[in-house]
Amino acid sequence: MQGQREPWDAIIRPKSGWFDINFKELVRYWDLTMLLVKRNFTVLYKQTILGPAWVVIQPLMTTLVFTVVFGGIAGLPTDGMPSFLFYMCGNILWSYFSSCLSETSRTFISNRALFGKVYFPRLVMPISVSISKLINFLVQFLFFILFLIYYALKPNSPVHPNFAMIAFTPLLLIQTAILGMGFGIIISSLTTKYWDLNMLVGFGVHLWMYATPVAYASSLVMAKHPRLIGLYMLNPMTPIIEFFRSAYLGVENISLHYMPLSVGVTLVVMFLGLVLFSRVEKTFMDTV
């Protein structure tokens, strides 16, 4: 009868309000999310000579360069830890964050053709990006653990993993993904009107890395610029990197006391990102 809905019918209504995110709908589209994860991984390494091996080669080469330049030539301290292990620990986590941010920041621009043809929750895209990048991280993390075991088993090794802190690794990865997605969603929402912002992402992320203790120890900042430490810790990635190092290497410093601030900033960034995303999602096909 007319006016009755069949069980397979779906009614798509325009979003209303300044924060209209249907999280139940995201769960229903989980199969699509996994399909996009597979697509992201396949497209990235299709028609490459070394294929998925690049997942390991890139962080290893970056770590090697950091070890030679910052540890060897510049002689920056690494809190008594082996330079290679110290830099690799920071590199793999920063790589996960930066890749989530960079890829998510192109959500609307890269998928505008697909968005114009079929309906699905647009947040599926950034979520699929964070999961596909997590797979890359886990592969890199496996190699990091192998190096960690090698250095930890050496006689008189300074490496002393804190297993109680290691248990928080999943939460740390979730926070890193949320932070990267949050900033990426904000940038993606803004680039629907201002395309040139997308050109600044790579440059901005590169500069951000040097404001984060990836290539150096945060103890160096504390020793030379103690008055700036409060401002320095407003960078939410600083406590995250330091917590990760403290967990797996045994490095201890004041950065850990700023983890609640880092979590708070992460939640605020993600909330602002979702608000902007919800607003832009309604009209982006008219502006992209």
Q: Which two tokens stand for residue 3?
A: 């006016």
- List the domain boundaries for the chain: 51-287
Question: What burial class does residue 248 get, using C-beta atoms within 10 Å of its C-beta: 0-12 exposed, 13-18 middle, 19+ buried?
Answer: buried
**pLDDT by position in tens, the chain (length 288):** 455 555 555 555 555 555 666 777 788 888 888 888 888 777 776 666 666 777 888 889 999 999 999 988 988 889 889 999 999 999 999 999 999 999 888 877 777 667 767 777 778 888 999 999 999 999 999 999 999 999 999 998 899 999 999 999 999 999 999 999 999 999 988 887 777 677 788 889 999 999 999 999 888 888 888 888 888 889 999 999 999 999 999 887 666 788 999 999 999 999 999 888 887 776 655 444
In the numeric block, which tokens belong to residue 210?
Answer: 């040097």
Tens of pLDDT, residue by residue over 206-238, are 999 999 999 998 888 888 888 888 888 899 999
Give residue 167's pLDDT: 95
For residue range 155-206, list pLDDT tens digits in order: 988 999 999 999 999 999 999 999 999 999 999 888 877 776 777 888 899 9
Rg (the chain; Cα; Å): 21
Q: Report which DSSP code applies to 193.
A: T
DSSP string over 60-128: HHHHHHHIIIIIIIS----TTS-HHHHHHHHHHHHHHHHHHHHHHTTHHHHTHHHHTT----TTHHHHH
Nearest CA to 99 out of 205, 230, 241, 13 is that of: 205
* Residue 183 near residue 273 (C-beta atoms within 8 A): yes
Q: Please enumerate in sequence order all residues whose Cβ is within 8 A of that of 7, keeping only pairs 6 or more positions apart, or say none.
A: none
CA distance 283 to 137: 34
Query: What's the CA gap between 241 and 78, in Å, rounded?
Result: 13
Q: Could you tell me which of 1, 106, 99, 22 has the C-alpha nearest to residue 55?
A: 99
CB count within 10 Å of CB 180 equals 29
Query: Is the pTM higher than 0.85?
Result: yes
- Residue 269 has which token pair? 């960034």
Residues 72, 199: Cα–Cα separation, whole Å: 33
